[in-house]
Amino acid sequence: MGEVRVLLVDDHPVVRAGLRAMLTGFEGISIAAEAADGAAALKELARLRTLGEAPDVVLMDLQLGDGMDGVTATAQIRKLAAPPPVLILTTYDTDADILAAVEAGASGYMLKDAPPDQLRQAVLQAAAGGTALAPRAAALLMERISNPGTSLTPREVQLLELLATGLSNRAIARQVFISEATVKTHLVHIYGKLGVDNRTAAIAAATQRRIIRAPGSKG
Amino acid sequence: MGEVRVLLVDDHPVVRAGLRAMLTGFEGISIAAEAADGAAALKELARLRTLGEAPDVVLMDLQLGDGMDGVTATAQIRKLAAPPPVLILTTYDTDADILAAVEAGASGYMLKDAPPDQLRQAVLQAAAGGTALAPRAAALLMERISNPGTSLTPREVQLLELLATGLSNRAIARQVFISEATVKTHLVHIYGKLGVDNRTAAIAAATQRRIIRAPGSKG
DNA sequence: CCGGGAGTCAACCTTTCGGTTGATCCCCGG
DNA sequence: CCGGGGATCAACCGAAAGGTTGACTCCCGG
């Protein structure tokens, strides 16, 4: 059979160069094209298809700088007809990242610090229609199906976001037109679900799990 | 003159491969050796010196996984006799990271998403004994000399970082072996300097101004 | 139609936090 | 040599947050 053609999507030139060097060094893998962001990835994908050189797998980072993030890009790609498998290759393995990627239709979730051979295996596996998950990603998904009751409600996430901006309970209450008592009730629920016992720990936990965006971080 | 020899220090195989491919592609730059952590970097440096092949510049990531971080490694290198210039190449540009690197004796501070040509320029500049700063790093240092009164002390930044992990005053006190009263005193000073009046707002403000990294992000 | 989860609110109590005042120690620089 | 800033600690008080119990509404699904 022919080579597995890969479309690289990563905003860091250094990482793209590294993946290009690493993957082309493997037997049976070649780089079809590269893209620095989601829009460029979709454009490249369309271009390659018209050339009859559709990639066998898309290797996608989740953090793509300004613009479309990797989850959105993945969802867009999976909406196409006969979409290629998308293998996520990123730096972080937070709950929200993993779940968002899987929900967007990713075929796998690998970390950038994985050894080269695991990376090669994952690419080949995804290209063949299989699945490749980093240990933590696999553990998370299994834990989710056995223990589904611990996720935050939309309202709780909303209050969490306000909490992270540094507002007091009273200020939050005024912001969303409820009483301070209700805010406290929600916070108690949030603390319980996150396994913490104060607001700063809740912010840290929620940020770590990417339930909320870091205060002041660029979109 | 001969080629500029670079010692690469980065814990990610993908990034090392990328930098190797990118830099060796440039005229006048070659890779002398690579290291995945601080200890290995010092060892490689010593080895190269005994061979009479001392590198002209060390390209150093700040996040080096388990063990010695990039700041410590930089300081160690700069303590040697006739130390090579150390150019920091990392992912984040928080105030704390930049200042720590400069204080450790770094010759420059660049970000990994910099375009290849800027990277090449920075390496050559550092190797020639010059300085190379990313825009935000340069802006920070200039702002420091023109406006030195309102900055947080290192101790205050340290407590702020612990604060952002969700620790209580008592827990912070135990962590750094001081009394809870002292923690409270520091926090009052921090609140004053940041213009806030509670701990969550301090985290939000400090994150926004990049005095600290987002809570929970890897270091 | 009934149970349950989500959202709302109140009253109560304990703990933590925020703010102040005042004090000691050390080190650096004029 | 003396001032000042940084770091340390103590005692105090009021305000805010944490935790519990209980209750009401709404809506969705079995």
B72-83 average pLDDT score: 90
Superfamily of domain covering B4-144: Response regulator (3.40.50.2300)
B207-216 average pLDDT score: 77
B64-87 average pLDDT score: 87
> Above 70 in pLDDT, residue B215?
no
Contact between chains at A215 and B202 (C-beta distance less than 8 A): no
Instruction: Please give the order of strands across the beta sheet that includes A4-9.
Output: A29-35, A4-9, A57-60, A86-90, A108-111, A132-133
Q: How far is CA A153 from CA A60, A74, A148, in A?
A: 29, 25, 13
Pairing of strands B4-9, B57-60: parallel
B128 touches chain A (CB under 8 A): no
A165 touches chain B (CB under 8 A): yes
User: CA B78 – C1' C16 distance (Å)?
Assistant: 44
Q: CA dihedral defined by A47, A129, A11, B86, rounded to 10 degrees?
A: -140
Contact between chains at A201 and B166 (C-beta distance less than 8 A): yes
**Nearest CB to B14 within list A15, A92, A204:** A15
pLDDT band with cut points at 50, 70 and 90 for residue B35: very high
A189 touches chain B (CB under 8 A): no
Residues 51-80 in B having a C-beta less than 7 A from any atom of strand D are none
Rounded to a whole number of angstroms, the distance from the CA of B81 to the nearest CA of chain A is: 31
B168 touches chain A (CB under 8 A): yes
Residues on chain A touching B91 (C-beta within 8 angstroms): 91
Residue type, A65: G
**Which of the two residues, B147 and B201, has the higher pLDDT score?**
B201
User: CA B137 – C1' C14 distance (Å)?
Assistant: 47
pLDDT of residue B6: 97
pLDDT band with cut points at 50, 70 and 90 for residue B216: low
- For the segment(s) A151-208, the CATH number from 1.10.10.10, 3.40.50.2300, 3.40.640.10, 3.40.50.970 is 1.10.10.10
**Nearest CB to A18 within list B21, B91, B201:** B21
* Residue of chain A nearest B215, judged by CA positions: A204
Give the C-alpha separation, B37 to B210, whole Å: 25
pLDDT of residue A219: 37
B67 touches chain A (CB under 8 A): no
Tokens of B214: 């987002």
Return the number of other C-beta atoms located less than 10 Å from residue B155's C-beta: 14
Tokens of B196: 């806030």
Report mean pLDDT in 10-residue bins for chain A, 219 residues: 87 92 92 94 96 95 82 91 94 76 89 90 94 86 62 86 93 92 93 92 87 61
Domain boundaries, chain B: 4-144, 154-208
B181-196 average pLDDT score: 92
pLDDT band with cut points at 50, 70 and 90 for residue B123: very high
> Above 70 in pLDDT, residue B146?
no
pLDDT of residue A153: 83
Instruction: Tell me which CATH code domain B154-208 carries.
Output: 1.10.10.10
pLDDT of residue A83: 93
Give the lowest-confidence range in A186-195, B33-42, B137-146. Answer: B137-146
Superfamily of domain covering A4-145: Response regulator (3.40.50.2300)
N residues, chain B: 219
Contact between chains at B216 and A208 (C-beta distance less than 8 A): yes
Q: How far is CA B71 from CA B90, B139, B162, B176, B195, in A?
A: 11, 20, 19, 20, 29
User: CA A185 – C1' C9 distance (Å)?
Assistant: 10
Three-class secondary structure of residue A204 per DSSP: helix
> Above 80 in pLDDT, residue B213?
no
pLDDT of residue B144: 67
Q: Is the CB of A181 under 7 A from strand C?
A: yes
Q: Is the CB of B184 under 7 A from strand C?
A: yes
pLDDT of residue A218: 42
Q: What are the residues facing B58 on neighbouring strands?
A: B7, B86
Helical spans, DSSP H, in B13-168: 13-24, 38-50, 70-78, 95-103, 116-127, 135-146, 154-164
B82-105 average pLDDT score: 87
